[in-house]
Amino acid sequence: MKNKDNQKSGLVHIDLGESFEILTGHGGVKKLFLQRFNRDELWHMSEKIGLVSHLHKKGFDKIILDIDVDESRINYFSIYMKEKRPENRLLDVRLSEATFMPDKKFFSEGASIIPYEMINIEWISARNPYINFSKERPQLPGQSSPGLGILKYCFRMIYLMASEIFKDGFMDVPDHMHGAIMYSSDFMFFDPVHEAILRAVMRDLKMYSISDISWGILTSTVIEKTSGQPQVYDPCEQVHSVSRRMKKYFQSDLYRETFKKYYSRKKYYLDYNEMVKRREEILFKKRTENL
């Protein structure tokens, strides 16, 4: 799950030119994750939220935590099994600090537009390289290995970080519909129309698996009943609120009224047989992880 186009999403990266000492391997003397946390602090945080215990229960009893910061000010948090090698990486989290300036269309006429200080999720990948996909846990579009069930721990950790360094929240722009669904228990789309569409799809297609829904979007077989047109997934900002002012936005009358309007209006069905047919055609030419 990654944010491909920060300029399009309204994100402006902070100038950290005076904080070059956080870089290691690029002329710096030390590295701090998000300019604040060292590796020992992040290990303690990982233990506190239950991430380490969860990995131990899955058989990963010898794990290594590593942090880094690159020249683009992207912060890397990685967990490896036994050795720090790419094939042994279990968790890859990449975060940056950014100011999010929303479009004025999301606010009442004449209202002042508030810039939000955010942690931006550039990438999250959690994988178990030692098991294969199964019928119970099928491969999702863009997924190269089965997951580890640790997304909730990642969110807890980022929430603690955001709280400590006084951010309004953290956000992502999921590439696929299944990513947005997986985030939906903790995140909300900043755009209430997108949030309403997501929740309506989840409501009307709850009898299908997350894989079926994701493939339905990719194959244009999730149909909006009134228009008869396929529902397109348009990636945009999904936000986990931290500060009071960010929570206030999602609790506003304008946001709630817009959401209710579209949520009640949108009705969906999945043309399952056609989805299966089109999926087979796609997989004849492409690999699932490349979608």
Contact assessment for residue 275 and residue 215, using Cβ atoms and an 8 Å cutoff: yes
Predicted local confidence at residue 17, as pLDDT: 36
- pTM for this structure? 0.83
Question: Which sign, positive or negative, has the C-alpha torsion 279, 281, 284, 285?
Answer: negative
Tens digit of pLDDT per residue, the chain (291 long)?
Answer: 544 444 444 444 433 333 333 344 443 446 899 999 999 999 999 999 999 999 999 999 899 999 999 999 999 999 999 999 998 999 999 999 999 999 999 999 888 888 999 999 999 988 887 777 767 777 777 666 677 888 999 999 999 999 999 999 999 999 889 999 999 999 999 999 999 999 999 999 999 999 999 999 999 999 999 999 999 999 999 999 999 999 999 999 999 999 999 999 999 999 999 999 999 999 888 877 667
Of 216, 10, 249, 226, residue with least CA distance to 108: 249
Predicted local confidence at residue 28, as pLDDT: 43
Predicted local confidence at residue 262, as pLDDT: 97
Q: Angle of helix 192-204 relative to helix 253-265, nearest 10 degrees?
A: 40
Predicted local confidence at residue 136, as pLDDT: 72
pLDDT in tens, 254-263: 999 999 999 9
Torsion, Cα of 3, 5, 9, 15 (10° steps): 90
What residues have CB less than 8 Å from 177, skipping those under 6 apart?
A: 198, 201, 213, 214, 217, 233
